[in-house]
């Protein structure tokens, strides 16, 4: 027995089959109002981001990334926010951890639709800076000419030197400890007089080039009696740590502390 299928039903089946085969290949689009280029955020603080996403059919998610290969270490942040409809405004906040990298970072955002299509990245440069001073604990002790001073630095889990001990090896006494959340970029050791200008000994150690997890530096006090005001201005040992700072900080702030230089001076006895 023959089965009669009406023509309009057959057309509907064919049309439905064709419609199912259609693939959404159009990418969503995104606009970003915040953060602005070179936005500044301090360690432990938050910044907001906002904008609008569009799609021809249905949105799915907003993908957010922060990377900082040019900062004190390569800090990574990943997040995903659900969005729906053909257009959606977004406004949210991101908190930078107190132990995040210090320096230049890239904030990246892109949209994904329900078909898996992805928009292009929008990138903003943000400046993560460290405004938290190091904690320095000193133990005033006698330092004399020819004493050997040992400086030992320790790296944290992010491969950044974040602590320093100053030890008088000759007298077996600890002179000071320095600790800092953002980490140290340089160690400066000087032997000077209280005029602040004449320096007999000076050492600058670039800690960013040191690969070892523990780094030790030795320094022997050498008082030069030919120094013209040796007896008028008692000499001292100055130990300075330099924190990581973004380039924009160096252009804005002029004082030593604001440039990340933190010094302790120890009296030296001839």
Last residue of a domain, one of 129, 146, 179: 129
pLDDT for the residue numbered 259 = 73
Q: What is the pLDDT of residues 191-203, one digit of tens each?
A: 876 555 556 678 8
Q: What is the pLDDT of residues 42-92, one digit of tens each?
A: 999 999 999 999 988 888 899 999 999 889 999 999 999 998 888 888 899
108 and 213, same domain (yes or no): no
147 and 256, same domain (yes or no): yes
Q: Is residue 19 part of a domain?
A: no
Average pLDDT estimate for 119-140: 91
The two tokens of residue 58 are 């249905």
Q: Is residue 20 part of a domain?
A: no
Of the candidate ranges 166-175, 240-249, 261-270, the one whose mean pLDDT is the lowest: 240-249
CATH number of the domain within which 122 lies: 2.60.40.3880
Last residue of a domain, one of 73, 98, 129: 129
Q: What is the pLDDT of residues 199-222, one digit of tens each?
A: 667 889 999 999 999 999 999 988
pLDDT band at 248; cut points 50, 70, 90: low
In the sheet where 29-34 sits, what is the strand order?
29-34, 46-54, 87-95
Taking the C-alpha atoms of residue 132 and residue 62, their distance in angstroms, rounded to an integer, is: 32
The two tokens of residue 29 are 């689009």
144 and 123, same domain (yes or no): no
187 and 241, same domain (yes or no): yes
The two tokens of residue 193 are 């007089």
Q: Is residue 47 part of a domain?
A: yes
pLDDT for the residue numbered 15 = 46
142 and 263, same domain (yes or no): yes
101 and 218, same domain (yes or no): no
Q: Are 154 and 180 in contact (CB under 8 A)?
A: no
Last residue of a domain, one of 111, 129, 147: 129
**pTM across the whole model:** 0.78
224 and 161, same domain (yes or no): yes
Q: Is residue 9 part of a domain?
A: no
Average pLDDT estimate for 160-171: 96
pLDDT for the residue numbered 269 = 80
Q: Is residue 53 part of a domain?
A: yes
Is 20 a residue whose pLDDT tops 60? Answer: no
Q: Is residue 199 part of a domain?
A: yes
Number of domains in the chain: 2
- The percent of residues in the chain predicted with pLDDT above 70, rounded, is 80
Is 223 a residue whose pLDDT tops 50? Answer: yes
Is 124 a residue whose pLDDT tops 60? Answer: yes
84 and 66, same domain (yes or no): yes
pLDDT band at 41; cut points 50, 70, 90: very high
| Cα distances (Å, whole numbers) of residue 14 to 17, 18, 52, 96, 133 | 5, 6, 38, 55, 72
Average pLDDT estimate for 149-160: 96
81 and 148, same domain (yes or no): no
Q: Is residue 95 part of a domain?
A: yes
Domain boundaries, position 148? 135-267
40 and 86, same domain (yes or no): yes
Q: Are 184 and 243 in contact (CB under 8 A)?
A: yes
Mean pLDDT of the chain: 83
Taking the C-alpha atoms of residue 109 and residue 65, their distance in angstroms, rounded to an integer, is: 6
Q: Is residue 200 part of a domain?
A: yes
pLDDT for the residue numbered 8 = 47
123 and 139, same domain (yes or no): no
| Cα distances (Å, whole numbers) of residue 16 to 13, 19, 56, 115 | 5, 5, 20, 19
User: Left (φ > 0), alpha (ψ -120 to 50) or beta: where does 85 sit?
Assistant: left
Q: Are 186 and 242 in contact (CB under 8 A)?
A: yes
52 and 164, same domain (yes or no): no
pLDDT for the residue numbered 57 = 87
Of the candidate ranges 103-107, 147-151, 227-231, 234-238, the one whose mean pLDDT is the lowest: 227-231
């Amino acid at each position: 027995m023959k089965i009669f299928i009406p023509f309009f039903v057959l057309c509907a089946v064919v049309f439905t089959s064709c419609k199912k085969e259609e693939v959404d290949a159009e990418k969503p689009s995104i606009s970003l109002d915040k953060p602005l280029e070179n936005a500044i955020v301090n360690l432990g603080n938050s910044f907001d981001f906002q904008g609008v996403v569009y799609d021809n059919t249905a949105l799915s998610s907003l993908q957010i990334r922060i990377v900082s290969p040019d900062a004190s270490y390569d800090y990574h942040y990943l997040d995903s926010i659900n969005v729906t409809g053909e257009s959606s405004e977004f406004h949210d906040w991101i908190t930078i951890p107190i132990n995040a990298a210090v320096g230049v970072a890239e904030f990246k955002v892109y949209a994904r639709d329900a078909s898996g299509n992805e928009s292009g990245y929008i990138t903003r440069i943000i400046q993560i800076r460290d405004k938290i001073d190091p904690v320095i604990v000193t133990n005033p002790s006698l330092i004399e000419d020819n004493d050997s001073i040992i400086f030992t630095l320790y790296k944290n889990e992010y491969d950044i030197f974040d602590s320093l001990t100053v030890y008088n090896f000759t007298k077996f006494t600890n002179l000071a400890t320095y600790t800092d959340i953002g980490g140290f970029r340089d160690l400066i050791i000087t032997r000077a007089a209280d005029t602040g200008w004449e320096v007999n000994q000076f050492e600058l150690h670039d800690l960013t080039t040191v690969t070892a997890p523990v780094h030790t530096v030795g320094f022997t006090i050498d008082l030069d009696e030919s120094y013209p005001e040796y007896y008028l201005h008692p000499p001292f040992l100055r130990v300075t740590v330099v924190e990581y700072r973004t380039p924009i900080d160096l252009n804005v702030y002029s004082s030593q502390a604001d440039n990340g230089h933190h010094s302790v001076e120890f009296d030296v006895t001839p």
